[in-house]
Structures are given as structure tokens and as C-alpha cells.
Amino acid sequence: MEIASKFLGGMIGSAIGDAVGELAFRFSGKDQLLAQLDQEPELSYTDDTAMAIGLAESIIKEGRIDQNHLGERFRRNFEKEPWRGYASGPPAIFSMVRRFQVSYPEAARRLFGRSGSLGNGAAMRVVPVGLFFYNAPDLRDQACISAEVTHTHPIGMDGAAIQARAIAQAVRMDPKAPFPMNDFMQDLNDFSETSEIREKMVTVQDAISGGLSPHETAARIGRSVAVHESMPFAVYAFLRNARSFEACLLCAVLNGGDRDTLGAMACAISGAYLGIDAIPRPWRDKLENRTYIECLARKLANMAEQR
């Protein structure tokens, strides 16, 4: 499979997961949600995708992750579309950078009593990093650099790194070959640097091997916006449904928690693994801003192949 198909699958898949997850807050049954998807004239995304777009734009413009440029891109995009559903963290950081003339990481470090955020905001948007640096030995460093603009807590950065690693693995894998379940899970466990994330990834491994239901698995992982209580369930949703984008999406968004972000994270991995053609065309056709997101994905793929 061509790399471009996987980059398109990752970017478009994440945006669709985000948009459908947002709908799932109001239509929380499978049949109800699928019926609503048929009726929706457009699938509108949230801040998850808006920030992923900003991250892709910054990488394309700079050829790397420049924290100041990335922070300014996030700020400008927020000011254009503040209604996307941003949490309080990013606008607080934007305000501090301007008011106190500090760097984005320094402003981010001042949040939550100077402990920084351990939320899932850095992981939800990290798909361009996982794609662009899919074959780079410094993937962890790049994911953490991108996270640090808004999330400086070690758990927040580790969660973004694990999500990026899952996406990078998915890009490298052949969906026609047998899925290397144990190797995939062990790699993520080994890649983690915080005990909180590592313990939840072991929970994922146990849930897959033990055949636990999605509902029970979500209860064991947690359903908060903390990255160690959300990102691992997105990985579980992908692993449980590695052969089906639709099944992965529905698993991610129909078991409570931060549904739009769970959809964005799970479907970024699924799309990067299966490629763009595995995503139902009616959903792709309805995605807001699809042409622009596809353009960003193709540019990232072209740049990655030239690295």
C-alpha cells in the first residue's frame, strides 16, 4: 500500500472519528448513531481536528516541529474558530504567552499549580507527528516537543508519544498480513516512560487476551479526559477491531468518556493501518474541510518520503 493512502487514512480517519464521536454525545446507541450519520449533511469536527490541522500546517511550513511557530499557529487557528470546543487550557496559554512574554512551554508549565496538564489534548492532535516521523528514530522526542507547547506534565507527554508510536507502527504495517498483536502491544508497553501509562497499557493487553468487553475495559481504564484514562482505550478499540475502520470507530465512541477524542485517536491509528479506502466513502464525502485535510496529508506524505 502506498504511503499516501496511509497518511490520508490517518488524517481523514482521525477527523471522522472526532466528528462522529461528537455526535455520539447525543446519539449514544449504535443504531441511533448510524441512522443519524446517514441524515447528517456534514460531519463537523471539533478542536481535536482543528489542532491536528494546525500541527500539520506547522510541520509543512517549517519542515520540523518548531514550538513557537506551532504555538502561534494554534493561537491563530483558535482565534479564527474559538467555537470548536476548546478546553480552558489552550486559551489560557495563549493569554499568558502574550501577557508575560514567555515561551509556550513555560506558559503550559504554569497550569494546574505548575504541574502542567496531563490531559489528552496533546495525544488527540498528534496524528501528523506519528505520520511524518513514522520511520524516525527520534519519534518520541518529536511527539514530546509537539506536546510540550500545551502539555508539560510527563503523563501528558508520554500519552502523546504512545499515541504517535501506535500511528507510526500502523503506517509501517501491511494490513494484508497477519496482525502482529503481541508485538504491537509489547512495543507500546516498552515505549512508555511513565508507570501510569504503562499500567493502563498492560490493562489493554489483558483485556485483549482475556476477551473483556469494551464496556468492562473502559471501566477498568477510566473514562476521564486524563490521557492515561482515555488514550489506552482508543488503542484497545483499534486492536479489538483492527480489520474494520467502522467497528473501531463505533467501539471507540460508544462506551462513554471523551467520545470525540477517543474517536479521533482510535481512528487515526485505524486509518493509518488500513488506508484511506477502508473508510466508508459516504463518511469521507461528508467530512467538513475534507479537501484541505487531504491536501495536508499528501504534503506530509511527500515531505516524509523525501526525508
Nearest alpha carbon to residue 229 among 145, 123, 86: 123
Residue tagged 474558530 (cell numbers): 81
Q: What is d(CA 286, CA 240) in angstroms, rounded to the nearest whole number?
A: 26
pLDDT digits (tens, 9 = 90+) for 273-294: 999 999 999 999 999 999 999 9
pLDDT digits (tens, 9 = 90+) for 96-133: 999 999 999 999 999 999 999 999 999 999 999 999 99
Grade residue 306 by pLDDT with cuts at 50, 70 and 90: confident
Q: What is d(CA 9, CA 287) in angstroms, rounded to the nearest whole number?
A: 13
CA quadruple 96, 102, 104, 107: dihedral sign: negative
Residue tagged 494554534 (cell numbers): 74
User: Across the strands, what pairs with 43?
Assistant: 287
Q: What is d(CA 204, CA 200) in angstroms, rounded to the nearest whole number?
A: 6
Position 234 pLDDT exceeds 80: yes
Cell numbers given for 36: 443519524
Nearest alpha carbon to residue 164 among 182, 138, 202: 138
Q: What is the pLDDT of residue 178?
A: 96
Q: What is d(CA 245, CA 269) in angstroms, rounded to the nearest whole number?
A: 9
Q: What is the DSSP letter of 192?
A: -
Percent above pLDDT 90 for the chain: 98
pLDDT digits (tens, 9 = 90+) for 184-211: 999 999 999 999 999 999 999 999 999 9
User: Across the strands, what pairs with 82?
Assistant: none
Position 8 pLDDT exceeds 80: yes
CB-CB contact of 16 with 43 (8 Å): yes
Query: Could you count the other beta carbons within 10 Å of the beta carbon of residue 80?
Result: 9
DSSP annotation string for 162-190? HHHHHHHHHHHS-TTSPP-HHHHHHHHHH
**3-state secondary structure (DSSP) of residue 259:** helix
CATH class of 3-305: mainly alpha
Q: Where are the alpha helices (DSSP H) in the chain?
A: 3-24, 30-39, 47-62, 67-80, 89-100, 104-109, 111-114, 121-124, 127-132, 139-147, 154-172, 181-191, 195-210, 214-221, 231-240, 245-253, 259-274, 281-286, 290-305
pTM of the entire structure? Answer: 0.98
Q: How far is CA 63 from CA 68, 77, 136, 162, 306, in A?
A: 14, 19, 14, 22, 11
pLDDT digits (tens, 9 = 90+) for 19-74: 999 999 999 899 999 999 999 999 999 999 999 999 999 999 999 999 999 999 99
Position 1 pLDDT exceeds 90: no
Burial of 166 (0-12, 13-18, 19+ CB in 10 A): buried
Cα dihedral angle (191, 11, 37, 85), rounded to 10 degrees?
80
Domains in the chain: boundaries: 3-305
pLDDT digits (tens, 9 = 90+) for 153-189: 999 999 999 999 999 999 999 999 999 999 999 999 9
